[in-house]
Structure 1
Amino acid sequence: MSSDPSSPGPGSPSSASSAAPVSSPSGSHRVHPRDAGPLPLARLAPLALGALGIVYGDIGTSPLYALRDCFSGEHGITPTPANVLGVLSLVFWSLIIVISVKYLGFVMRADNRGEGGILALLALVVQRGGGAGGGARRMVLLTLGLFGAALLYGDGVITPAVSVLSAVEGLAVATPFFTPYVLPIALVILLALFLVQRRGTGGIGRVFGPMMVVWFTVLAVLGVHELARNPSVLQAVVPTHAVGFFARNGWHGFLVLGAVFLVVTGGEALYADMGHFGYRPIRLAWFVLVLPALLLNYFGQGALLLRDPSVATNPFFHMAPDWALYPLVALATAATVIASQALISGVFSLTRQAIQLGYWPRLEVVHTSAEEQGQIYLPGVNFALLLGVVAVVLGFRSSGALTAAYGIAVTATMAITTCLAYVVARERWGVRRSIAVPVLITFLAIDLAFFGANFVKVAHGGWLPLTMGAVLFTLMTTWKRGRELLGSKLRSGAIPLKDLLESFGDNAPHRVPGTAIFMTGNPEIAPSAMLHNLKHNKVLHEQTLLLTIATEDVPHVPSSERVTVESLPLGMRRITARYGFMEDPSIPDILKRCREKGLPFNVMSTSFFLGRETLIVSKNPGMAMWREAIFVWMSRNARSATAFFRIPPNRVVEMGAQVEL
């Protein structure tokens, strides 16, 4: 559905950025341009290198803490040879089935015009929400998708904290002297990371790929060094070792899955960042470098544990010779900063999608690159993430304690992604039920097993991401529902534009020089600002334009389809501007395109008429009063329509009204 700028008060449905998606012919499935045909290696290799720096930071730093938590975490198991082989077998098959098969082979094909991530997938799914029982079904899918998106914010807080802490803790392995300084050093690094966000990641991003090549190469070298001393550990690839592990350890073995899951926590990042590169470069990087390096390192850590079980408290750093510890800590810290950067950028992108799709109020969005549209910075979100990260670091104080809070949010999101991807497979790809259902059951069984193993962490820190997810889900649904109620209130007193124009008859209002642009979310309804202007000033401008900004359920709208102009009676014109949920509406851009379509006007003689509603909490049916109060608070703190749409502030006329929710 279109946005509703007719009354751009922050709580109004008039915010184009707060619109729900609309279905359109342009919403048809289309693969990423880089995946549309064969790519020569000369083009594919640089994209794969870039994917290493953006996509694989999270999963690439899991060797720092995954096996450590399997054998010395909250539910750690004794590192006997049978247990080591069993855990390594679980690690191997988790990487193969969850990452290689599920995400790279299945989920990443469910792209929305080349874009991935749970909100892009949700927008793709709800296009087909009609049919019998479509309303209830659509609501269930929307609820699942929104809750999964809300949970990812918890991941965005915990991942930087646990990653950087786990790297800096390597200093304590080198010498106990650094133990008291691990926390302050980690906080300084994290603070610097968030402070540089405003400068953008373009310059830094150019070195991310090569640095991650060095990181994965070091992972492989460390692993090969230990494997050469005990190659018998490679027998763990036989799945009977995983089966035997559960048979021997029962419930305790199941709980260890919560730590095994740490090796695949970057799976959602692969999907979310697909739009930057396309799935072919991401697959190439995975199978050529990332997967071999990770497996070699995990098996190397296993070989070390077979040789010396006492190093279970930190097997990764004990793989390195003494002379290499400090360089390895520095490299690991750089890798975790890259992983954190990818999560932070992902949260920025997720928030912008939520704004455009109508589930979050308008916020300030700063573009940090003139070339790359995806490089954005949201000051408010950045500050909130910084506060959250600092709080969890000070509260949990070690990466080992933080991993107890890590995993449950991602497992839930992965399960939701599986369900939404199944809907896409059935309804958009036409996959037969006899094929789709077994695939769904297989993937969902694995997701739910990981979720169950992580659920026991709730009392030990898992409550944190769940609480954050529940709070954000409540805010997102409150904003959406509040806008629907406000829109209903405004429509109840609205006048169809056709009726208004016909009511003039031969007594057209007095025309005054200049151009007036009335922003309206519903092109068939007379904007409230226009009605107020006619009631109080009794005039229309010589050139009167009605502007509707619509957010569609595709990431990007082709330039040729951006703006349409339609003539109306009395010389008025209706302008419709369409944007994808990965794009930012801009009045200067719209006006430029209007000029190209032969609609000239002088900005200095143009006035923008906006409606602004003052919201009042009431006992009327609709929402609980506490949710109405939250909606009013969110409305008051949203960014103004003038700033969000980049309207010249000295050309704006606002006309207000009080509305009881």
Structure 2
Amino acid sequence: MLGWKTTVILAFQSIGIVYGDIGTSPLYVLSSIFTDGIHNIDDIIGVLSLIIYTIITIPMLKYVFVVLHANDNGNGGAFALYSLICRHAKVSLIPNQQPEDMELSNYTLETPFKPKGTKNLKQKLENSYFAKVMLVLITMLGTSMVIGDGIFTPSMSVLSAVSGISTSLGEDAVVGITIAILILLFGMQRFGTDKVGLSFAPILIVWFALISGIGIYNLVKHDIGVLRAFNPKCIYDYFERNGFKQAWLSLGGIFLCITGSEAMFADLGHFNVRAIQISFSFVTFPAIVTAYVGQAAFLRKFPEQVSNTFYACIPGHLYWPTFVIAIFASIIASQAMISGAFSIISQAQNLGCFPKVKVVHTSTKHRGQVYIPEINYMFMIACIVVSAAFKTSTRMSHAYGIAVVCDMTITTLLVSFIMLVVWKKNIWVVVLFLPFGCIELLYLSSQMTKFTNGGFVPLVLAFFLTTLMGIWHYVQKERYMFELNNKISTESLGKLVNKGNINRMPGIGLLYSELVQGIPLIFPHFIANISSIHSVVVFVSIKAIPIATVALEERFLFRHVEPRDHKIFHCVVRHGYRDELGDHVEFESQLVHHLKEFITQELEAEAKTTTTVEQVPSIHVNENKMAYISQCYTTSDTLIEEGNHRTSSSSSYSITFSSSHMECAEKEMKFIRKAMEKGVVYMLGEAEVVANPKSSIFNKIIVNYAYSFMRKNFRQMDKVMAIPRNRLLKVGMTYEI
């Protein structure tokens, strides 16, 4: 639990990261609603009422008071929700769950189910392969919408701000200035959310003070009567006056007043729930509502100014200061969804649903603040293309809202699952939450009327990204199943290592495999090509756990691969979707340190074991076990060998561990240290995944072309961990799936 001082600091930072998008919506909302002008002066009151209650319903009630609590140990976003569901129901498509994972300190499971209906739902989810596939596809689609939002938000916000000088410079100049600002914005991302947030927060606070001050000024000067918009009856009057169809069509523009609300949840990993609640309730909400009230009061007197409402209602002496602050605020608005997109892509990659990219953790104080260079520059290019193609914020608004409302609807669906599967709420409690989804579907239906006017762009983008993630996850799953079905037995490994032509050279060999249990198929392939292995071999399985973080002391899970004298270990490196594996130097150090700890703890555990054997004519003892004990320990009584049996010379005997136990432990440590001095070599299987010749044409296209293209053009494991080439050994192998 963070202290109030830290929470207040995070709340201050969150203003500079989270609320730029929703905070700059007054720049373009009213002009997007009244695209054909204002035909009835009373419609201003109706639209203002819809704006006020939309902000109260979605950002305040849904996100601040419900969705923020559906976090995964302080993390938000679609994949955080999916991870939470995976921990409480066996819905993961990759069968790598182990009982040991549930013992992790952050792997908290709730008490058994009580409501019968929710228990049945959990069982249906676990037993239905189709439901599992649909759940992960919905999660990917929600992620794709956030990424699409991260592309449209910068273009929309900056274009809207720069449009204040469109009358003097022209449309082409506005687009050029917008592109220049976008290049500057994406160039700043490498400094990290922490530094960007601290620098942006004061600017956005000034922005909120300006728009709320201007709003109060217009309210008092022009028409204080617009305050009656707080009466929800004005919404009914608006629909009755314009007819349902016309009023329904205007909902597409009204929805733009809450774009950026999803950033509160997507960026949650950068801050915490309390910080977001404080900053929205006491700063953002009153500021933007006051701004809309003031604009409505101004339009009641000057309805002809609706196409440029925001800048037209600014008092003359504040025009240029507001214009400059608006430019900075639009840059901040862009930052909100860029940060959220970085976080959610990092989560998707760690859970095996996105190709490998370089993730840079930019803050040592606040875990989860990341920067992804490749994605950053892809975003920059996409934003430039979008800005040049749409040219104005009004045309872009046709596409902008669809990505946002789709993401919100998916969040509502996933949170409903959380309520049933994780919170174990009664089905009727969930029914009370579903009206939020109904409202969002109503807004979505209105937005879809703009499909041919650019609304198709975010949907095509989301379909492309979902397909990319789906293909990657599918092939990773099939690759894992291939390794699992073709793993090498311990007996086969023993025969392989004991071959006379196999040399044991000094050093530590780390063989990477995705297989959590068993010997990977690639190992005998290495031996067949090299005919030698290192004196210490560790099969390393890097396993994603559906939790945010795994404590460092719990991350490495070792076990011996029998027989022990072969010095072969299996290590499962468990990490959460917010964890950083580190470079090869740090990783080596941690792995060897935990290997030594494992050996010490294992010997100590055996040293504490006291074996008492009652007197019998003969005692059968496992020869291998006794041979191992005799190497490391001495006994208090003399053991007399009689044929194939061993008996004690007294009625019972206790194995007492003295200095020889310490000598054995020291011998093991010395062996590991000596191997470490000779160096660590990384062995990676360059597995080429191809479709089985007997598989369908569709499967061949996915595996042989789509997946192969992604694998060749994204980072490999050695690039992600920055493994030096002179310590990397690759052997090729082909998997048919």
Q: Do the two structures share a fold, i.e. TM-score over 0.5?
A: yes
Equivalent position amino acid for 2:730 in 1: E
TM-superposed CA distance for 1:590, in Å, is: 3.1
Q: Which residue of 2 aligns with 1:4?
A: none
Query: Does 1:602 find its partner at 2:676?
Result: yes
Change beyond 3 A, Cα 1:188–1:579: same
Residue aligned with 1:403, SS: helix
CA contact (8 A) 2:508 2:681 kept: yes
Q: Which residue of 2 aligns with 1:573?
A: 569
CA contact (8 A) 1:563 1:590 kept: no
Equivalent position amino acid for 2:219 in 1: L
Give the alignment's TM-score, normalised by structure 2. Answer: 0.80
- Which of 646, 651, 655 is the aligned partner of 2:727? 651
Change beyond 3 A, Cα 1:565–1:615: closer
TM-superposed CA distance for 1:497, in Å, is: 4.0
Q: Which residue of 2 aligns with 1:376?
A: 370
TM-superposed CA distance for 1:369, in Å, is: 4.5
- Shifted more, 125-134 versus 320-329: the winner is 125-134
Equivalent position amino acid for 2:699 in 1: A
How far apart in 1 are the matches of 2:136 and 2:304?
48
Q: Which residue of 2 aligns with 1:50?
A: 13
TM-superposed CA distance for 1:294, in Å, is: 0.7
TM-superposed CA distance for 1:443, in Å, is: 0.9
- Which of 272, 277, 283 is the aligned partner of 1:278? 272
Q: Which residue of 2 aligns with 1:589?
A: 586
How far apart in 1 are the matches of 2:288 and 2:23?
7
Equivalent position amino acid for 2:180 in 1: V
TM-superposed CA distance for 1:377, in Å, is: 2.7
CA contact (8 A) 2:267 2:343 kept: no
CA contact (8 A) 1:550 1:577 kept: yes
Q: Deviations over 1:573-614 (max 9, x none)?
A: 222211111123234333222343326452652211110023
TM-superposed CA distance for 1:491, in Å, is: 4.2
Q: Which residue of 2 aligns with 1:328?
A: 322
Q: How does 1:484-563 map to 2 (within 5 A)?
A: 484-497=477-490, 499-501=492-494, 509-563=502-556
Query: Does 1:188 find its partner at 2:161?
Result: no
Query: Does 1:243 find its partner at 2:236?
Result: yes
How far apart in 2 are the matches of 1:373 and 1:423?
27
TM-superposed CA distance for 1:492, in Å, is: 4.4
Q: Deviations over 1:609-645 (max 9, x none)?
A: 1100234456532643332311110011121211212
Change beyond 3 A, Cα 1:324–1:497: farther
Q: How does 1:33-72 map to 2 (within 5 A)?
A: 33-34=1-2, 39-40=3-4, 42-72=5-35
Residue aligned with 1:127, SS: helix
Equivalent position amino acid for 1:575 in 2: C
- Which of 124, 136, 140 is the aligned partner of 1:146? 140
Residue aligned with 2:133, SS: helix
Residue aligned with 2:424, SS: coil
Query: Does 1:398 find its partner at 2:392?
Result: yes
CA contact (8 A) 1:124 1:553 kept: yes
Q: Which residue of 2 aligns with 1:232?
A: 225
Q: Which residue of 2 aligns with 1:27?
A: none
Equivalent position amino acid for 2:234 in 1: H
How far apart in 2 are the matches of 1:538 and 1:604?
19
Change beyond 3 A, Cα 1:280–1:366: closer
Q: Deviations over 1:329-355 (max 9, x none)?
A: 110110010111222222222221111
- Structure 1 unaligned runs (5+)? 1-32
- Which of 694, 700, 705 is the aligned partner of 1:620? 694
Residue aligned with 2:34, SS: helix
- Shifted more, 240-249 versus 518-527: the winner is 518-527
TM-superposed CA distance for 1:291, in Å, is: 0.7
How far apart in 1 are the matches of 2:381 and 2:710?
19
How far apart in 1 are the matches of 2:514 and 2:185?
39
- Shifted more, 395-404 versus 567-576: the winner is 567-576
TM-superposed CA distance for 1:177, in Å, is: 4.1
Q: Deviations over 1:338-388 (max 9, x none)?
A: 111222222222221111111111112334445554343322212211121
Give the alignment's TM-score, normalised by structure 1. Answer: 0.89
Q: Deviations over 1:195-235 (max 9, x none)?
A: 23334454333221111111111111010001112110000
- Structure 2 unaligned runs (5+)? 91-122, 597-671
TM-superposed CA distance for 1:253, in Å, is: 0.4
Q: Which residue of 2 aligns with 1:638?
A: 714
CA contact (8 A) 2:89 2:421 kept: no
Equivalent position amino acid for 1:433 in 2: I
Higher relative contact order (CA 8 A, sep 6+): 1
CA contact (8 A) 1:607 1:652 kept: yes
Q: Deviations over 1:474-532 (max 9, x none)?
A: 11101111222333444444323454236767979542222211112113332344212
How far apart in 2 are the matches of 1:631 and 1:434?
43
Equivalent position amino acid for 1:576 in 2: V
How far apart in 2 are the matches of 1:545 and 1:119?
31
How far apart in 1 are the matches of 2:458 and 2:365?
35
Identical columns (%):
30
How far apart in 1 are the matches of 2:321 and 2:125?
60
Equivalent position amino acid for 2:7 in 1: L
Q: How does 1:288-367 map to 2 (within 5 A)?
A: 288-367=282-361
Q: Deviations over 1:525-581 (max 9, x none)?
A: 323442123223333321111111111111111122111222232221222211111
How far apart in 2 are the matches of 1:260 and 1:92?
10
- Shifted more, 52-61 versus 533-542: the winner is 533-542
How far apart in 2 are the matches of 1:603 and 1:320?
71
Q: How does 1:198-237 map to 2 (within 5 A)?
A: 198-229=190-221, 230-237=223-230
Q: CA-atom RMSD, angstroms? A: 2.2
Change beyond 3 A, Cα 1:444–1:507: same
Equivalent position amino acid for 2:397 in 1: T
Q: How many residues align?
A: 618
Equivalent position amino acid for 1:476 in 2: M
Q: Deviations over 1:443-497 (max 9, x none)?
A: 1111101111111111111100000000111111011112223334444443234
How far apart in 1 are the matches of 2:677 and 2:45?
71
How far apart in 2 are the matches of 1:505 and 1:653?
22
How far apart in 2 are the matches of 1:258 and 1:171?
26
CA contact (8 A) 2:74 2:269 kept: yes
Q: Deviations over 1:277-315 (max 9, x none)?
A: 211111111111111111100010000111110110011
Residue aligned with 2:715, SS: coil
